[in-house]
Structures are given as C-alpha cells and as structure tokens.
Structure 1
Amino acid sequence: MKRRKVLFICTGNTCRSPMAESILRAEIKRRKIKFVDSASAGIFAENSLEIHPNSAACLTCHGIDFSKFHPRQLNHKMIENAYAVICMTDAQKELLNGFSNVYSIRDVAGFDIPDPFGRGAEEYQKTYELLLVAVDKIIEKFFTEA
C-alpha cells in the first residue's frame, strides 16, 4: 500500500504545525495505523530554526516525541506529494487555493487553531488540547476504513 502523508501548515512552522505533526505521529503509532506519515511546513518559515520552546515544553509534558521535527518552508512539491494538506486556519487554506488536497482544520473539526505565538504556556496547552481533538477527527475522516 502506498504511504499517505498528512502535511500540516501554519505560518512559521514553529508552534502549531509541529505540534500537530508530532501529535498525529504519536496517534498513528499508538493506534497502529500503517502507511501514514506526518509532516509540517510553514507558509513563512524561511527564518525558522527550531520548534518554539513553549511548543517543545508542552509536547514533552505530554510525552510526545518531536525529535524528527525540523522547520521547513512550504513549497508546491510538498503539497503535490501529500495525501492531505491540513491548514490551521481557513485564511491559510485560502492562500493555497487551487490544490484539491488542501483542507483547513475547520473543514475537518469545525474550528480554527489560533496562533499561540507570543503568549504563555497556558495558550500552548489550549493549542495542544484543540489539536488532540483535530487529530482524532483527521484520523476518523481520512484513515478509518468504512
């Protein structure tokens, strides 16, 4: 079976999308879902060097491994090679208009994921909790056999 990659998109690829990538990776491993990969990129990630410390701390607190993460600037090839591209907001989805495999979290889970950048640890925890719900909905929509 061909591998199916879920590509999460946010602005800088340091907060939300790396958390989503890592949470999905942990969930597909926990649920023993085969042939699914998780990755992330940022629309404006040129200067991103690493995951945000608050994202890292939140993931670590929940026992989620993010060691495979490295920030990347989004490009067309990434979108074309992904099974599903999941943007954190409808506005980000609109920027990628024209690709049939692009969705927003709102399309799948009914809500956007607000950017916690510049805020405290409690906002990163809220982001984590929203992403847990969203990842469950993504698995249900794309990777649960009928």
Structure 2
Amino acid sequence: MESPTPIRILTVCTGNICRSPVAERLLQAGLDQVLPGAFQVRSAGTRAMVGDPIQPLSADIVHLYGGTAGGFAARQLTPKILREADVVLTMTSMHRGEVMQMDASLLRRTFTIREFARMLEVLEKRDDSPAPAADMAAMWRELPARAASVRHLAMAEDASDNDVVDPYGRGPERYQQMEDELAPAILTILRFARRRS
C-alpha cells in the first residue's frame, strides 16, 4: 500500500557529487523494492558543486549495487530543503553540525548515516515485536525520535566511525574506502525497512 505522502529522507555531504548521491540512489533503489512509492530520497551538499553529475567512480558504486546514477545534478543544501525532510542522514559529524547551525530544530531527526544504522540495530535488538508495521509511514515518521532515544547505546568506539571518508580528488582506493564505510550502513537501513514492511 502506498503512502499518500512519501517519507522524505535527505542525505548530505559536502559537494553532493560523491558520497550523498551514492547514499541517495542506493537507498531509493532499495526502499523502492521494499515499498514502492512510500519513500523519496534526495541529497544536497553543504558546499555543493551545483549542477554537476555524480563522480564517475561513485556512479560505478551505484551501478554495482543495482542503482541508477543518471539524471543527477548536485544541489546546495538550504533551510527549505531541510524543513521538507523527515530524516536527515549526513556523511560526517561535521555535516551534522552544519545542519544544526542551519536549523537547530532538526536535532532529533539528523544523524550521521553510520550512527543511524547502529541505532537501528539497537532498536531491532530491543524490539520484542519485529512484526511488520501496520502503518509504515507513521512508523518511519516516529523512527527519528526512537533512534535518538537510543543514541547513548549506539555510540562509536572512535568518533571517526561515525564518518564516511571524502574520496573527492583521490584515487580508486579512497572510493573503495568510502564504499566500505557507506555500504554496510545502507544495507542495515534497508534490512530494517524490509523487516518492518
């Protein structure tokens, strides 16, 4: 059953051409398989290279996991874009701080993507009823507050474990590191969505 108003997820990085587009396209592809039409995933950059396409090595990662990279154009993060999001997933703690500076009211629905994935794992362990949600949209709109409530149980051993490395201007090995840090978080979010649908 389609949600009349899609759950809006925003991914954020710096230039909006490497990390956040990969997260956007792979989350959208995976969530479309879980519940077509129920989610709208978009991305933006804190210092976006406005209008640029996804970097070729990032596009390769998107294709590798079954997403599509075509038709993408980087855009600048704005307060209006933030206000429209139900969940904001940043690529680093620094990006999360920049979101907070732009709109402090988003505190309880803004997370680094790796932190959010760990929080979902905590919620799954604590949940006595992993049955599908009756109202998927309502469950996802309440999810940021539930995730924030277990933040203390999902702390990273090292603060850098919250961040996804920036590969821009670097070689293939840095893109591989980005994939190694980003893909598990995306897969955790998709697995959570699948179990709740």
TM (norm. structure 1) is 0.85
The question of whether the paired residues in 2 share the 8 Å contact of 1:108 and 1:141 is answered with: no
Deviation at 1:37, TM superposition (A): 1.1
Greater CA deviation, 38-47 or 72-81?
38-47
Aligned to 2:165: 114
1:26-65 → structure 2 map (5 Å cutoff): 26-32=29-35, 34-47=37-50, 49-65=52-68
Query: Would you say 1:131 and 2:182 are equivalent positions?
Result: yes
Instruction: Find the partner of 1:69 among 68, 72, 75.
Output: 72
Structure 2 unaligned runs (5+)? 119-161
Structure 2 counterpart SS, 1:108? helix
The question of whether the paired residues in 1 share the 8 Å contact of 2:47 and 2:76 is answered with: yes
Higher helix proportion (structure 1 or 2): 2
Q: Name the CA shift for 1:41/1:102 in 2 (closer, same or farther; >3 Å).
A: same
**Larger-Rg structure:** 2
The aligned length equals: 146
Q: Supply the AA of the counterpart residue of 1:31.
A: V
The question of whether the paired residues in 2 share the 8 Å contact of 1:7 and 1:82 is answered with: yes
Aligned to 1:79: 82
Taking only the aligned residue pairs, the percentage that are identical comes to 32
Q: Name the CA shift for 1:73/1:132 in 2 (closer, same or farther; >3 Å).
A: same
